């Protein structure tokens, strides 16, 4: 009789375990997102004027968004520009503070093409600090058409970090 009671208890416990496990599997997925369902957010801060560094940053951004794209992971990547970085977001440097800045043609072409590719193919957004435009007397009309203007680059970086964006600065 004791054997039968022990077997019944074991059977009951197994059944209870299976019911709890099944309930967990049914309930959890609706409230828990898989990591690939969570949008990845990154803000790249560009406040430098070194063209090699800019090219490296754009390569890093490409690697990031290409990875997310091939894995089917949604993302929102922004580049916030202030200070000397503005020169890379200009249609041309003629008539600006940066006109005398010479960038090797091959490197300049690489930067221009990478940037356009990131915008067209990966929806990367470029945002330029208005304070820098005013400080450098750079007309807004000089900016590439895909660049949006924010009041302050520093404030924008903080706002994006507050919204969960990972801060990335390429050295």
In this predicted structure, what is the pLDDT of residue 37? 76
In sequence order, the β-bridge partners of residue 79 are 44, 126
Q: Please tell me the total number of residues recorded for the chain in this structure.
A: 171
In sequence order, the β-bridge partners of residue 147 are 126
Domain shared by 46 and 98, yes or no: yes
The pTM of this model reads 0.79
Domain shared by 21 and 52, yes or no: no
Q: What domain count does the chain have?
A: 2
- What angle do the packed helices 105-122 and 51-71 form, to 10 degrees? 30
Domain shared by 83 and 125, yes or no: yes
Domain shared by 1 and 60, yes or no: no
pLDDT for 57-102, tens place per residue?
999 999 999 999 999 999 999 999 999 999 999 999 999 999 999 9
Domain shared by 61 and 79, yes or no: yes
In terms of Cβ atoms closer than 10 Å to its own Cβ (0-12, 13-18, 19+), residue 152 is middle
Domain shared by 5 and 74, yes or no: no
The parent domain of residue 42 ranges over 35-168
17 — pLDDT class (breaks 50, 70, 90): low
Domain shared by 19 and 79, yes or no: no
pLDDT for 21-43, tens place per residue?
444 444 444 444 445 679 999 99
Domain shared by 24 and 70, yes or no: no
Domain shared by 19 and 99, yes or no: no
- Indicate whether 2 pLDDT > 70: no
Domain shared by 148 and 94, yes or no: yes
Domain shared by 49 and 99, yes or no: yes
pLDDT for 138-170, tens place per residue?
999 999 999 999 999 999 999 999 999 999 999
In terms of Cβ atoms closer than 10 Å to its own Cβ (0-12, 13-18, 19+), residue 47 is middle
The three-point CA angle 63-146-80 to 5° equals: 60
4 — pLDDT class (breaks 50, 70, 90): low
Please identify which residue in the block is written with the tokens 């007309």.
Answer: 139
Whole-number Å distance between alpha carbons of 40 and 37: 9
In this predicted structure, what is the pLDDT of residue 10? 60
Residue with more model confidence, 59 or 9:
59
Domain shared by 162 and 99, yes or no: yes
């Amino acid at each position: 009789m004791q054997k039968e009671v022990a077997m019944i208890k074991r059977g009951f416990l197994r059944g209870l375990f299976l019911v709890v496990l099944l309930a967990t599997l049914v309930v959890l997925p609706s409230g828990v997102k898989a990591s690939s369902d969570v949008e990845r957010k990154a803000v790249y801060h560009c406040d430098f004027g070194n063209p090699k560094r800019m090219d490296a940053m754009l390569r890093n951004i490409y690697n990031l968004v290409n990875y997310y794209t091939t894995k089917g992971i949604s993302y929102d990547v922004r580049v916030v520009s202030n200070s000397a970085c503005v020169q890379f977001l200009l249609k041309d440097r003629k008539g600006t503070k940066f006109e005398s800045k010479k960038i090797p043609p091959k490197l300049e072409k690489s930067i221009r093409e990478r940037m356009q590719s990131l915008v067209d193919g990966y929806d990367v957004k470029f945002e330029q600090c208005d304070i820098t435009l005013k400080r450098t007397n750079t007309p807004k009309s000089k900016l590439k058409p895909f660049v949006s203007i924010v009041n302050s680059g520093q404030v924008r970086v903080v706002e994006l970090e507050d919204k969960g964006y990972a801060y990335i600065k390429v050295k």
